[in-house]
Amino acid sequence: MTKRFDDRVAVVTGGSTGIGLATAGAFLKEGARRVYVTGRTRKSLDAAVEVLGERAVAVVSDVSRIGDIEKLKAEIEERGDSVDVLFANAGIAEKNSFGATTEAEFDKTFDINVKGLFFTVQTLLPLVPDGGAIVLNASIVANKGLADLSLYNASKAAVRSFARTLANDLKERKIRVNAVSPGLTRTPILENGLKMDEQQIAALHSHAEQAVPLGYVAKPHEIATTVTFLASADASYVNGIELSVDGGMTQV
């Protein structure tokens, strides 16, 4: 049976954990010939490849460093691959206190979430064939005003804007660009980025029971299936959109 990504090559930035790892696995399950996954540490990437298998290629790459993105491009070129699908997923979520936010905090969030995403797409674009698909990982916070997250909120609003503009910029090449906006999702970012402890995570799950119409916090694979839809021919006439995957949290 033909699978949606048979003989295709995908790139997933930030692919060593969470949504990125789940999406890389989904591409492989759907027949991808090769999936490149990036991350900032070799340890996390080695663990990811153990899960993903031999068709996964791990590349240590920090998207905030343009030189690292160029190295990723060079490695893909050395293998003779194109980039049929790009999931620009790498990003961070860290709290900041407005009125006491430092320039370093600002630069860290925007260097990764905005500059990093923009230059990932721009740098790899020559490897994307006409008719290819690009999916950007935004967030429902782009449309919210969550306290103590002003930098994160604004950075994801920029990602949503990129989906609109790049879809128009790339229309001559029929390259589709869409954004996926996850809602509450159980990923390592809760501990590693937002510094939530077990009690706070339990409280988040309790909050979701009331705030989310479906009543629970998503698992990464539930976001991954949406990304693979947007990247596939099933979404051939879907372009420039933001698809919220939030259990209805921001919709009703």
Strand partners, 38: 59
The DSSP code sequence of 34-50 is EEEEEES-HHHHHHHHH
Cα distance between residue 57 and residue 67, in whole Å: 19
Q: Which residue blocks in 101-239 are alpha helix, DSSP H?
A: 103-110, 117-124, 150-169, 189-192, 198-211, 220-231
Quick check: helix, strand or coil at residue 182? strand
The angle formed by the CA atoms of residues 170, 171 and 173, to the nearest 5 degrees, is 70
Are the C-beta atoms of residues 217 and 190 closer than 8 Å to each other? no
Are the C-beta atoms of residues 181 and 246 closer than 8 Å to each other? yes
Quick check: helix, strand or coil at residue 78? helix
- Residues carrying an active site annotation: 152
Q: If you search the block for the tokens 């663990």, which residue do you land on?
A: 47
Radius of gyration in angstroms for the set of CA atoms belonging to the chain, rounded to a whole number: 17
Cα-Cα-Cα-Cα dihedral sign, residues 184, 187, 191, 197: positive
Strand partners, 243: 180
